[in-house]
Structure 1
Amino acid sequence: MPPRPHRRSVAVVGTGGIVSSSHLPALRAHADRVELVAAVDVDPGRLDAFRELAGGEVAGYGSMDDMLDAVRPDLVVVGTPPSLHREQTTAALKAGAWVLCEKPLCLSLAEYDAIAAAEESSGAYASVVFQHRYGSGAVHARELIVGGELGTPLVAHCQTTWHRDAAYYAVPWRGRWAFEGGGPTMGHGIHQYDLLLHLLGPWAEVRAMAARLVHDTESEDVSTALVRFRNGALATVVNSVLSPDEVSRIRVDCADGTIELTHLYGHRNDDWVYTPAPHVAPERAEAWRTPAADVPSSHTAQLGALLDAQDHGVRPPGSGPDARATLEFAAALYKAAFTGLPVLAGEIAPSDPFYQAMHGDHPHWAPKERA
């Protein structure tokens, strides 16, 4: 086995909750492969607090341009609000750094294609955080489905029913098309339906509805979709921030068995349940159980996969056309919801208003009347 390259230098952009709670532990878990050398934040107090939490000699910068000029990192982790992702990701790519960016990677298909162009000209790659693909349970489930062991996929359900209160949306950029790109379709449920697409493969057609039922936001607070996959399977997708009983769930019914995953923000092997059809022999069903090695879905697992790709100089998972398909699904859901028409895969071309923005030319919902 060839020797592993030197530790790669890493910079984080944005030092708020997700970077401190998820990316920093992931970097520490891979400390033999990476070295955190710089952090960027426009808030000096937050930056200082992060640097103290990170320990060591982590240089602090108030702007990304200053950091890239001084450090030239191998990898940039982007954890800022979504409206900044496209600009910051392309800046890192142009500096020759690979990127691991929080979801959504950007706010539209137009922005995604601009990132793809920056990849092509730089030779570096940008991955979006879809950590639920990387747990051992998800890897095993996909192998069983793709390999045909469970029979033909027939029916699926994808549910992200979470709860967010008014205080959550008091943050100025939340619930605004220009800053977040949408509501729970873009900011919450995207993790689950990305995993659904990862398990079932390309989608073919979407029909949908979206509404703002509670929160005083521009974007929706609930959406639902009916999906036809290229393999013929039919699915429902629900994205909500109105649900007191919070759960994340995926169920796939195949001809020979059902897979069901129930969790909230991350899964382990025990969260996956396999139910064989009556005609399936017990010894065959026993082989479906997830292997004993339990790798939770996490930023740590995805970072490891990205570093493996970087070691070999190949496109990392969670990037390129694969990640674009998930963003295209979101755009199709919004287009179907706002036009009332079915949307086919590949339909949203550069001339389509839903290529430029997730809301297309749909007007914002009016502010709610207050008692």
Structure 2
Amino acid sequence: MQTYKVAIVGTGGIAAVHASNLSRTNNRAELVAACDVDDARLQAFADEHGITGRYQSLTELLAEAKPDIVHLCTPPMMHIDQAIECLEAGVHVLSEKPPALSLADFDRLNTAETEGGAQFSCVFQHRFGDASAAARTLIGGTDFGRPLVARCDTLWYRPDEYFDLPWRGTWKAEGGGPTMGHGIHQFDLLLHLLGPWEEVNAIASRQARATSTEDLSAALVRFENGAAATVINSLLSPRETSDIRVDCEFATIELSHLYGYATKDWTITAAPGHEDAISAAWTGQPLERGSGHSAQFLAMYDALDAGQPLPAGADSARQTLEFAAAIYASAFTGQPVRRGDIVPGHPFYGGMDGEGRGTRALDSTALGSTALASAARA
């Protein structure tokens, strides 16, 4: 098993999560460099985590530290250009979400991966717990039966001061509100469990926060396998929870947690008369490893060792980004959106705001005073 040289770009809060989880990969990774335009923050981060290579330029880091993998922990608007620079240099990329602010930007990765020979992966760590792997195996199988009904709720709370950072709550910097920046982890897991979605009908609104984006979205989704699901993404919920529930023919699978889960956070309920089969099917799966960044890191290293495509790679990350785009497109046009509809020339291909459609729709329907919309545009 190879030990991979890793660099972290961006040394804010999520970078500490990456560094901590890298230390739990059984020496599969060596953290050789860090990069940040804020030198004081860079030095403090590097001192805390014992990092020798310290750079204020990604270009210099790539040339001098020569990492195998770069973790992008920068603000969302920087992800795609930094990913492309790394890929063109032949360096693998693990990017925090969202992977890009639009499908148009994301599709630029194709050329960069081909030319540089490196691969892109997005941080969707909820896919990598043992229980999620077990659920994915059992949903649609003989014991659990077809998935019929599902719900996926990201009910979080972010107060007004959360948006004091000037790039938060803006289309230009974050690409959207909780649909892009918060709920994306949960509905990525839902898509991972249920497979390709077929059609989305959605609403989005700005209920209370002085942002330019939505602070709430809700969608009704039809999947190719016939399952129907609701998806809610909120920053307005004082009792914070992250929940997924899938009702199959013979069993209900539920996951309730907040920012990460262990096996104990999953509940399996059998339909009457199926208790023994359901219990045996669930307990017969490996269930030791919980979710988290380190689980995804290890899966990434295993794939590289084997010369296989990276998990949560560009193709599957694009499907999740397309789902987010469909929520916005449906919410701001009032029309259902089918998978594959958002292509070059579509107003939501170049941005989640749909060439200003989102801003106009939210300004016209925002609850509260006119001052809320004025503050959002500021």
The interval holding the TM-score normalised by the smaller chain is over 0.9
Q: Which moved more, 1:106-115 or 1:286-295?
A: 286-295
Superposition map of 1:261-280 within 5 A: 261-280=255-274
Q: 1:369 aligns with which of 364, 371, 377?
A: 371
Aligned to 1:103: 97
Aligned-residue offset at 1:29:
1.1
* Distance in 2 between residues matched to 1:317 and 1:270, nearest whole Å: 24
Aligned to 1:36: 31
Determine if contact 1:72/1:95 at 8 Å carries over to the other structure. Answer: no
Q: 1:75 aligns with which of 50, 66, 69?
A: 69
Identity %: 51
Q: Which moved more, 1:65-74 or 1:336-345?
A: 65-74
Aligned-residue offset at 1:70:
1.1
Aligned to 2:8: 12
Determine if contact 1:274/1:288 at 8 Å carries over to the other structure. Answer: no
**How many residues get paired?**
364
Deviation readout 1:330-355 (Å, 9 max, x if unpaired): 00000000000000000111111101
Aligned to 1:138: 132
Find out whether 1:248 has 2:250 as its counterpart: no
Aligned-residue offset at 1:58:
1.9
Determine if contact 1:259/1:272 at 8 Å carries over to the other structure. Answer: yes
Find out whether 1:149 has 2:143 as its counterpart: yes
* Distance in 2 between residues matched to 1:31 and 1:167, nearest whole Å: 39
**CA RMSD, 1 decimal:** 1.5
Aligned-residue offset at 1:314:
1.7
Aligned-residue offset at 1:307:
0.7
SS for the counterpart of 1:143 is: helix
Aligned to 1:180: 174
* Distance in 2 between residues matched to 1:87 and 1:149, nearest whole Å: 45
Q: Aligned pair in 2 of structure 1 residues 217, 368: CA closer, same or farther (>3 Å)?
A: farther
Aligned to 1:128: 122
Superposition map of 1:259-298 within 5 A: 259-280=253-274, 282-290=275-283, 291=285, 293-298=287-292
Determine if contact 2:134/2:286 at 8 Å carries over to the other structure. Answer: no
Aligned to 2:366: none
Aligned-residue offset at 1:292:
6.2
Q: 2:48 aligns with which of 36, 46, 53?
A: 53
Aligned to 2:205: 211
* Distance in 1 between residues matched to 2:210 and 2:8, nearest whole Å: 32
Aligned to 1:23: 18
Give the TM-score taking structure 1 as reference length: 0.95
Deviation readout 1:103-139 (Å, 9 max, x if unpaired): 1111111111101221122111111000000011111
* Distance in 1 between residues matched to 2:142 and 2:345, nearest whole Å: 39
Aligned-residue offset at 1:249:
0.3
Aligned-residue offset at 1:193:
0.4
* Distance in 2 between residues matched to 1:339 and 1:16, nearest whole Å: 36
Find out whether 1:114 has 2:108 as its counterpart: yes
* Distance in 2 between residues matched to 1:251 and 1:33, nearest whole Å: 34
Determine if contact 1:94/1:118 at 8 Å carries over to the other structure. Answer: yes
Aligned-residue offset at 1:320:
2.3
Q: 2:322 aligns with which of 306, 325, 328?
A: 328
* Distance in 1 between residues matched to 2:370 and 2:101, nearest whole Å: 25
* Distance in 2 between residues matched to 1:261 and 1:144, nearest whole Å: 15
* Distance in 1 between residues matched to 2:312 and 2:227, nearest whole Å: 23
Give the TM-score taking structure 2 as reference length: 0.93
Aligned-residue offset at 1:293:
4.3
Determine if contact 2:143/2:277 at 8 Å carries over to the other structure. Answer: no
Determine if contact 1:332/1:343 at 8 Å carries over to the other structure. Answer: yes
* Distance in 2 between residues matched to 1:310 and 1:127, nearest whole Å: 12
